[in-house]
């Protein structure tokens, strides 16, 4: 962690080095590179020592040159003859053994000659040349052994070492200012940072620093982002590790890594230790049946001991994150190990507006963009969903060759995220389009006539995602409870599409397009009967229990499995769904003319907003100006992306739209 008051240079060290001096890996590479270059130099030196300078020629050619009188002088050794030509060119040749006529030939042609000793290698050079392969193999073996045994868990024999990484936020530093929309969770963790910065302020009143904090929340709510913000604010060493890094195929490795991690943390205390996705190693232990004492349990036992055992870990704060708190071992969750459980919720409308403000800083916005409006239309979105929404809007604006991201891009991006991408290329017959239009019109008309139903956001017959059409409803505000009247309204709305098909096209032409609606209605009715006590006959009892899964997800199992009870449950579920079907039938048969009107409008315009549907129901028409149908096709840009002075962007004299 970098302290803001650190007197050293910006690179972290006195000489531009990192906080721990020069990189040891670079140092090792330089040493071994020097050794390798020295070995190459030695080999080349001794390999060239036995060579004689000059042109190598055959012995016959040498005798011919002597006979022609072109040789000036020679030195005759038992194994080699060297000499100089009259043109000062040097040569060498290997003589034929026992040539008695050589000296006579040299004398006859006036060549100066002398004897030379046989070249022999010195004892030191001989030893060095012969030991070079051994030295090379020894060096490679030493290097490999060091790589195998090195710490940090990087070597082959280092699997018992901790894989925790110390963060030094030199780039991409995150602070609490970058965390928005989860104020309560942020305040809980800000207190830990304050304790680390000024422990006396709390200890003078007898308070002790929390030993651990568990961040609990749905995926995408910002748990890891909060941990990164702590790393950026605390000013103390920050170690991060994933829960899956403890799990290994070798027995005892996970426990060894836990021990090594805490030893590493003790050397750097006070420090923060962040374990992401702790449910990978912290699951509830078994009952000793069927190999339940596995590697994960040993790792968990060691983690429990290290967090709060006989030896106190002073100055080590553990922060863990999970979206599976239901599967964690109770011993892990007790105070003393995790003193605080910080719930990181899905943001409300104010939180969504703040989150959008953080992400919108990175994109150029048109004047018509209103974060409040976008936040109101995105209930249930997490921080990750909102970040994706802003990114999709920016990509849409770039695809349309706009300089600014306007409100229209955000609306289109919201539709894309919530309803799926438009599949305009999908070929549908007129009959299929008509069937889809009446199906969606049935949903929309029932929704309008159900007071407890959420208002319609948009209705479309353009295939989106995996659906041929869709009626999207959005709540007017964030809701935290689900009321009986709204449940019955949703059952009726879900059945509206199938009922409309039955009324318009007949019993034999009812399609399979309502399969998703039937599934939704059945699940809702089952929850009403078995979990929420909405059945008069069965009373306020729980008949099904959820099993482990993500927050709000998972399997269910019947807790009361009697034959009579199961029959009654099934009958009540069927009764609730059929009740919704009856309510939809009554509405659509009574207002069949409006059903035709709405379906024809969908066939004409393909997509209708909630306001347009309301206007159609009141006035019988839609006040929409003529506009080109189909998606906007981006024209390829030519030349510079900067508009020329004196001309409107786009080249026309008309007023440019927002963001263009």
Cross-strand partners of 460: 470, 607
What value, to the nearest 5°, has the Cα angle with vertex 502 and ends 498 and 506? 150
Phi, psi of 85 (to 5 degrees): -75, 170
* Terminal C-alpha separation, the chain: 44
For the chain, the maximum distance between any two Cα atoms, rounded to a whole number of angstroms, is 137
Pairwise CA distance, residues 626 & 631, whole Å = 15
Residue whose pair of structure tokens reads 């995602």 in the numeric block = 465
Give 310's contacts (C-beta < 8 A, 6+ positions apart). Answer: none
Taking the C-alpha atoms of residue 569 and residue 578, their distance in angstroms, rounded to an integer, is: 14
DSSP H or E stretch at residue 71? strand 71-76
Q: Which of 358, 399, 398 is nearest to 375 (CA)?
A: 358
Q: What b/e string do you get for 230-255 counting C-beta neighbours within 10 Å, with b at 16 or more?
A: bbbbbbbbbbbbbbebbbbeeeebbb
Contact at 8 Å (CB) between 449 and 594? no
**Torsion (CA) 309, 314, 315, 317 in degrees, nearest 10:** 10
Residue 567 CA to residue 555 CA, distance in Å, equals 21
Cβ atoms within 10 Å, residue 437 = 23
What DSSP assignment string belongs to 340-366? EEEE-PPP-HHHHHHHHHHHHTTS-B-
Please say if 314 is a catalytic residue.
no
Burial of 641 (0-12, 13-18, 19+ CB in 10 A): exposed
Per the rule left: phi > 0, alpha: psi between -120 and 50, beta: everything else, 220 is left
Q: Which residues have CB under 8 Å from 467's CB, separation 6+?
A: 419, 420, 516
Rounded Cα distance between 349 and 280, Å, is 33
Among the listed residues 306, 440, 606, 612, the single catalytic one is 440
> d(Cα 155, Cα 210) in Å, to the nearest integer?
35
Measuring CA to CA, how many Å separate 595 from each of 437, 472, 520, 553? 10, 17, 23, 36
Angle at 114 between CA 108 and CA 118, to 5 degrees: 130
Give Cα separations from 446 to 34, 351, 455, 461, 498 (angstroms).
Answer: 82, 33, 11, 17, 12
- Output DSSP code: residue 301: H
- By the 8 A CB rule, do 470 and 440 touch? yes
Catalytic site positions: 440
């Amino acid at each position: 962690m970098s302290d803001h008051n650190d007197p050293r240079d910006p690179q972290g060290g006195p000489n531009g080095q990192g906080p721990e001096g020069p990189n040891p890996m670079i140092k090792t590479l330089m040493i071994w590179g020097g050794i390798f270059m020295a070995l190459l130099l030695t080999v080349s030196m001794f390999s060239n020592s036995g060579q004689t300078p000059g042109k190598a020629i055959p012995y016959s050619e040498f005798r011919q040159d002597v006979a022609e009188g072109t040789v000036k002088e020679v030195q005759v050794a038992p194994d080699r003859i060297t000499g100089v030509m009259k043109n000062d060119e040097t040569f060498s040749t290997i003589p034929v053994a026992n040539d008695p006529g050589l000296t006579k030939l040299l004398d006859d042609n006036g060549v100066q000659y002398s004897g030379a000793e046989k070249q022999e290698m010195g004892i030191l050079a001989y030893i060095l040349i012969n030991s070079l392969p051994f030295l090379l193999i020894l060096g490679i073996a030493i290097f490999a052994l060091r790589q195998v045994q090195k710490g940090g868990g990087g070597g082959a024999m280092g699997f018992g070492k901790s894989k925790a990484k110390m963060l030094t936020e030199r780039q991409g530093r995150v602070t609490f200012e970058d965390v928005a929309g989860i104020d309560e969770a942020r305040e809980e963790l800000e207190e830990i940072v304050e304790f680390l910065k000024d422990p006396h302020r709390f200890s003078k009143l007898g308070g002790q620093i929390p030993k651990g904090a568990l961040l609990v929340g749905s995926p995408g709510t910002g748990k890891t982002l909060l941990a990164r913000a702590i790393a950026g604010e605390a000013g103390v060493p920050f170690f991060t590790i994933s829960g899956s890094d403890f799990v290994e195929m070798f027995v005892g490795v996970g426990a060894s890594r836990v021990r090594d991690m805490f030893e590493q943390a003790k050397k750097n205390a006070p420090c923060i230790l962040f374990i992401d996705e702790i449910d990978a190693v912290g699951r509830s232990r078994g009952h000793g049946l069927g190999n339940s004492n596995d590697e994960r349990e040993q790792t968990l036992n060691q983690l429990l001991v290290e967090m709060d055992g006989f030896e106190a870990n002073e100055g080590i704060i553990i922060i863990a994150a999970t979206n599976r708190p239901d599967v964690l071992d109770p011993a892990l969750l007790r105070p003393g190990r995790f003193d605080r459980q910080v719930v990181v919720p899905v943001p409300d409308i104010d939180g969504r507006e703040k989150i959008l403000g953080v992400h919108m800083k990175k994109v150029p916005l048109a004047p018509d963009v209103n974060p409040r409006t976008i936040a109101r239309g995105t209930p249930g979105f997490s921080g990750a969903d909102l970040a994706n929404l802003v990114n999709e809007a920016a990509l849409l604006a770039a695809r349309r060759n706009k300089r600014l991201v306007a409100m229209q891009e955000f609306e289109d991006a919201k539709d894309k995220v919530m309803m799926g991408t438009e599949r305009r290329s999908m070929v549908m017959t007129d009959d299929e389009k008509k069937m889809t239009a009446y199906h969606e019109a049935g949903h929309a008309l029932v929704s309008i006539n159900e007071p407890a139903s959420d208002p319609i956001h948009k209705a479309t017959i353009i295939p989106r995602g995996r659906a041929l059409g869709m009626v999207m409803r959005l709540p007017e505000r964030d809701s935290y409870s689900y009321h009986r009247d709204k449940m019955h309204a949703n059952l009726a709305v879900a059945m509206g599409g199938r009922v409309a098909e039955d009324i318009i096209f007949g019993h034999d032409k009812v399609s399979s397009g309502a399969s998703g609606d039937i599934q939704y209605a059945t699940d809702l009715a089952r929850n009403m009967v078995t979990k929420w006590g909405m059945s008069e006959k069965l009373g306020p009892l729980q008949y099904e229990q959820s099993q482990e899964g993500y927050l709000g997800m998972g399997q269910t199992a019947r807790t009361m499995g009697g034959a009579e009870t199961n029959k009654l449950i099934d009958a009540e579920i069927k009764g609730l769904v059929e009740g919704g079907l009856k309510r939809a039938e009554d509405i659509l048969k009574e207002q069949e003319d409006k059903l035709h009107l709405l379906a024809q409008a969908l066939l004409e315009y393909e997509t209708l907003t909630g306001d347009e549907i309301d206007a159609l129901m009141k006035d019988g028409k839609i006040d929409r100006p003529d506009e080109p149908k189909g998606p906007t096709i981006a024209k390829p840009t030519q030349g510079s992306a900067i508009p020329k002075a004196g001309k409107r962007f786009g080249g026309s004299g008309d007023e440019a739209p927002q963001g263009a």
